[in-house]
Structure 1
Amino acid sequence: MPANKKYLTSSPWQRFAKISAAILGGMIVSVLFHMALASWFDHVVVIITSTFSVFILWAILMVLAFLGKNGWKIWGFYLLASIVFGAIFYFGNQTHPIV
């Protein structure tokens, strides 16, 4: 049974934004989140745990990217989250440098 046409994205740019946000944006946010955790907590434990939790978080973020109406807003949210996690990672490395 085919999908209902009214629920499909008609614009190719919106489709591109959603797909790229789901794949690239979700992975960037997932990895930066775990890097931020590793800079503040025991990095060995976080890295070992992240082998599974990065994939789970990435899958959740992929689903969330397709639930949104506007793909560019999803990209904006993912970029904002990446900047926040990148700042946490940066300041975590400044205060807790890994030897």
Structure 2
Amino acid sequence: MPANPKYLTQSNWQRFAKITAAIVGGYFVSVSFHLALASWFNRVNIMITMAFSGFILWVVLMIIAFLAKSALKIWGLYLLLIFVFSLLIYLGQTYNPAV
């Protein structure tokens, strides 16, 4: 049974933005989150864990991107998260340098 057309995104721009937010934005949020963890905790353990949890987080972020009403809001949220995690990476490398 096909989806009801009234629930589908009508605008091609919105559809493109949601797809790119899901694939590209979700990937960058997932990687920046794990790198932020790695800058504060044991790098080797976090990077090994990222091989599995990174894909799970990426899929969750993809689902969230397609559930959102506005592609602009989801891109804004993902860019904000990337900025926060990048700040945590910077602070982690500053205050917790690798030995």
Give the alignment's TM-score, normalised by structure 1. Answer: 0.98
Aligned to 1:69: 69
Count of residue correspondences: 99
CA distance, structure 2, for counterparts of residue 2 and residue 45 of structure 1: 44
CA distance, structure 2, for counterparts of residue 20 and residue 72 of structure 1: 11
1:7-86 aligned at under 5 Å gives the runs 7-86=7-86
Residue 98 (structure 1) shift: 1.7
Question: Runs ≥4 in structure 1, deviation > 3 angstroms?
Answer: none
Aligned-pair identity in percent equals 61
Give the superposed CA RMSD.
0.6
Q: Which amino acid aligns with 2:30?
A: S
Aligned to 1:87: 87
CA distance, structure 2, for counterparts of residue 27 and residue 97 of structure 1: 26
Q: Matched residue of 1:9: which SS? A: coil
CA distance, structure 1, for counterparts of residue 41 and residue 20 of structure 2: 31
In the alignment, structure 2 segments of 5+ residues that lack a partner are: none
Q: Which amino acid aligns with 2:60?
A: I
Q: Which amino acid aligns with 1:45?
A: N
CA distance, structure 1, for counterparts of residue 89 and residue 43 of structure 2: 12
CA distance, structure 1, for counterparts of residue 44 and residue 52 of structure 2: 14
CA distance, structure 1, for counterparts of residue 42 and residue 55 of structure 2: 20
